[in-house]
Amino acid sequence: MSLVRPPSFRELAERMGEAEAVRYLLRIGYGTMKVVAESGLPYHRVILYRERVKSLKSMEFSRLASFYERLSGVRSRKAKEALISRFLSSRVLPVDVMVNLLTAKPFKNLGVGPGTIRDSLALASRWSPERVEALYREYGEYGEVAYLILRGSSSPLTVKEVYLSLKLLPRLAREDRVKVLSSLLSTASRIEGKYIVRLALGDLKLGFKENTLLIAASKAFNVDRQLLENASAIKGLAEACRLASIGEYMLRLVELKPGVPFKPMLAHLYREDKVKFPVRVELKYDGSRLQIHKIGGKVKLYTRRLVEKSDVLPEVVEIARGFNADSCIVDCEVIAVDDKGNPLPFQYLLERTLPRKYESERAEKVRVTVKAFDIVYHEGRSLLSTPLQERIPILMSVVPKEFLAEGETCTTPGEVEKYFKDAVSRGYEGIMVKALDSIYEPGRRTYTWLKLKPLRDTIDAVVVKAYYGTGLRAGYYSSLLLAVRDPKARKLYTIGRVSNISEDLMDRLKKRFDQLIVRRDRDGIVLKPEVVVEVTYMEIQRSPEYSSGYALRVPKIVRVRNDKTVGEIDTLDKIRELYMSQSAVKS
């Protein structure tokens, strides 16, 4: 009796297709790694077939990587617009996928950090993790490390298999994420590996902002840019571009509706020449922006970043259920309050808004309420094009008085100044100044809304560490750790990190930092305390993150104090005094 030879994987694939052949082997008891060995397929491809992906046919990823490389190498904004517009016009992929591949937005929360990338590169290149990390410290960016150490492969990758493999990562354990990434990197060429790493980290370093993409898309699809911006604020950029690719009429059909978050309207800093009287002035609360969406008995809460917080803030949901409307969308600030209902500083609010789930202990410790200042949807009707002076009466008819932002109408600069001084004396952040004829423009920062805040004191601090940059700042330092002194203990105590430093200033500082390096670590360089800077800030907060016990909120460098030494910087005692003198803390 002769034995029957089982069919090879190649024979199975010819008979039933590659994807079905993999699933057949898995069904008859083969483990994933045995299928990889039997088929000769990369690990990530076997995993995708296991997840019921039928076909991976698509544009070759090498073409996309080449486009990335060309786009990142162009400095002119106009040239970037032209390249992106041409890319979108080609429609070589679904338009929403093309936009996602330009922004990397879907890949920003994959659960992939530098450690996962390091280990994946080590496995793919057969380098030790320590050696990979040493190269990262030298170059400051893992995409460049991938380009340097990968050996390259002749096996072509498709855009679809890279895209789907990355989207699969959040569902996998860390060990399996490393296997999938290392499989992709082992199959990739050096230039492909560079951009697979950057996609996995959600940062392509292509050097353009969202507005550039909006302009390019409006040209590619021959649609009105303002319509595209409005649709993007409501639907998201990828979906708005997909609709634009069908036709401008699709953008005109986009409307607000409860349950669909949108990017909020934003304000510019106060400029007297931009004020058009009469105006509405309102207290500026030290809280977080929140959208309240109500339809019937259902209530949804969304942050400025469009993250849902309905489960985290149940007391706000109960407040919204008491609104005098069956359906509405209300724009407001959520703030922390004490037992008497007085506003508390922003740091108290973080106790409630940072956690992803409701915690009863935190809720008992920190009470919250809302202060509503606008309404953009009411009983089935969008109010986006309705002037503010007409929206305010509707808001007041819907929201109980205790939950309304305090405000009034001013007709002269003197009245605005008086209201501002009164707000600051009561411990508020400042005021908002809004044109009465202003419409609500989602996602836009406009001069019809202005914010006026008091000028804060400044402190002199010393730089003790410079952190490596990522994204557009890769290869540079992106933020600086500051410290003040305790003359009695003769020690330095950290007080916060300052970022948003101009390239010109950072270039000048880098030359000095290179001469002051004490040691390097994975985050940056530790420095001799010699560079003194004057910084302004919004507020001083209590914080266990820094050794002083305090943190500067939104610090900004005013100037470098070349005339001062570390022995002349401000003291920890001054920080305590400034903290205690803040009106919000006093109240």
Region 26-42 average pLDDT: 93
What does pLDDT average to over the chain? 91
Tens digit of pLDDT for each residue in 239-258?
999 999 999 999 999 999 99
Region 527-537 average pLDDT: 92
DSSP annotation of 457: P
Region 232-239 average pLDDT: 93
Is 323 a domain residue? Answer: yes
Phi/psi at 382 (5° precision): -75, 135
Pairing between β-strand 445-452 and β-strand 266-269 as defined by DSSP bridges: parallel
Name the residue range of residue 383's domain: 266-452
Region 7-29 average pLDDT: 91
Is 434 a domain residue? Answer: yes
Region 387-413 average pLDDT: 97
pLDDT at 583: 47
Q: Does 271 lie in the same domain as 413?
A: yes
DSSP annotation of 158: B
Q: Does 485 lie in the same domain as 448?
A: no
- Structure token pair of residue 439: 């419409």
Q: Is the pLDDT of residue 225 over 90?
A: yes
DSSP element (H, E) containing 99: helix 95-103
Tens digit of pLDDT for each residue in 77-124?
899 999 999 999 999 999 999 999 999 988 988 888 889 999 999 999
Q: Is the CB of residue 324 less than 8 Å from the CB of residue 398?
A: yes
Report how far residue 148's alpha carbon sits from residue 139's, in angstroms, rounded to the nearest whole number.
10
Q: Does 396 lie in the same domain as 381?
A: yes
Return all residues near 197 (Cβ < 8 A) that are at least 6 apart: 117, 121, 142, 143, 145, 146, 185
Q: Is the CB of residue 41 less than 8 Å from the CB of residue 33?
A: no
Residue 383's domain is classified under what CATH number? 3.30.470.30
Q: Does 302 lie in the same domain as 397?
A: yes
Q: Does 241 lie in the same domain as 117?
A: no
Q: How far apart are the first and last CA of the chain?
A: 95
Return all residues near 183 (Cβ < 8 A) that are at least 6 apart: 42, 43, 44, 45, 124
Report how far residue 479's alpha carbon sits from residue 555's, in angstroms, rounded to the nearest whole number.
11
Residue after which a domain boundary falls, among 452, 478, 510 = 452
Region 517-537 average pLDDT: 90
Phi/psi at 243 (5° precision): -65, -40
Q: Is the pLDDT of residue 585 over 60?
A: no
Return all residues near 462 (Cβ < 8 A) that are at least 6 apart: 482, 483, 484, 485, 492, 529, 530, 531, 532, 533, 566, 569
Q: Does 510 lie in the same domain as 417?
A: no
Q: Does 433 lie in the same domain as 295?
A: yes
Pairing between β-strand 407-410 and β-strand 430-435 as defined by DSSP bridges: unpaired
Q: Is the pLDDT of residue 332 over 60?
A: yes
Report how far residue 106's alpha carbon sits from residue 162's, in angstroms, rounded to the nearest whole number.
13
Pairing between β-strand 477-486 and β-strand 491-498 as defined by DSSP bridges: antiparallel
Is 480 a domain residue? Answer: yes
pLDDT at 49: 95
pLDDT at 584: 46
Q: Quick one: what percent of the chain has pLDDT higher than 90?
A: 69
Q: Is the pLDDT of residue 36 over 90?
A: yes
Pairing between β-strand 298-303 and β-strand 445-452 as defined by DSSP bridges: unpaired
pLDDT at 258: 96
Strand intervals (E) in 236-357: 266-269, 279-284, 288-295, 298-303, 327-337
DSSP element (H, E) containing 107: none
Q: Is the pLDDT of residue 140 over 90?
A: no
Res. 476 pLDDT band, cuts 50 70 90: low
Q: Quick one: what percent of the chain has pLDDT higher than 70?
A: 96
Region 472-494 average pLDDT: 83
Q: How far is CA 560 from the centre of its chain?
A: 29
DSSP annotation of 418: H
Return all residues near 581 (Cβ < 8 A) that are at least 6 apart: none
Ramachandran bin of 508, using left for φ above 0, alpha for ψ from -120 to 50, beta for the remaining angles: alpha
Q: What is the DSSP string of 392-413?
A: HHHHHHHS-GGGBPPEEEE-SH
Report how far residue 430's alpha carbon sits from residue 41's, in angstroms, rounded to the nearest whole number.
62
Tens digit of pLDDT for each residue in 264-307?
999 988 888 899 999 999 999 989 999 999 999 999 999 998 99
Q: Is the pLDDT of residue 567 over 60?
A: yes
Q: Does 444 lie in the same domain as 303?
A: yes
Q: For residues 455, 442, 213 and 163, what is the CA-based torsion angle, rounded to 10 degrees?
A: 110
Q: Is the pLDDT of residue 587 over 50?
A: no
Is 400 a domain residue? Answer: yes
Radius of gyration of the chain (CA): 28
Is 209 a domain residue? Answer: no
The tally of CA atoms less than 13 A away on the side-chain side of residue 434 is 27
Cβ neighbours of 55 (radius 10 Å):
12
Tell me, what amino acid is at 288? S
pLDDT at 363: 86
Residue after which a domain boundary falls, among 171, 200, 229 = 200
Is 312 a domain residue? Answer: yes
SS3 readout for 499-530: CCCCHHHHHHHHHHHCCCEEEECCCEEEECCC
Region 403-418 average pLDDT: 96
Res. 357 pLDDT band, cuts 50 70 90: confident
* 197 three-state secondary structure: helix
pLDDT at 586: 44
Is 206 a domain residue? Answer: no
Res. 577 pLDDT band, cuts 50 70 90: confident
Q: Of 459, 466, 441, 444, which is closest to residue 526 (Cα–Cα)?
A: 466
Q: Which residues are catalytic?
A: 284
Q: Is the pLDDT of residue 348 over 90?
A: no
Residue after which a domain boundary falls, among 392, 417, 452 = 452
Q: Does 538 lie in the same domain as 435?
A: no
Tens digit of pLDDT for each residue in 426-443?
988 899 999 999 999 998
The tally of domains found in the chain comes to 5
Q: Does 335 lie in the same domain as 272?
A: yes
The tally of CA atoms less than 13 A away on the side-chain side of residue 430 is 13
pTM of the model: 0.72
Q: Does 432 lie in the same domain as 394?
A: yes
Q: Does 476 lie in the same domain as 432?
A: no
Is 395 a domain residue? Answer: yes
Strand intervals (E) in 199-349: 266-269, 279-284, 288-295, 298-303, 327-337
Residue 491's domain is classified under what CATH number? 2.40.50.140
DSSP annotation of 339: T
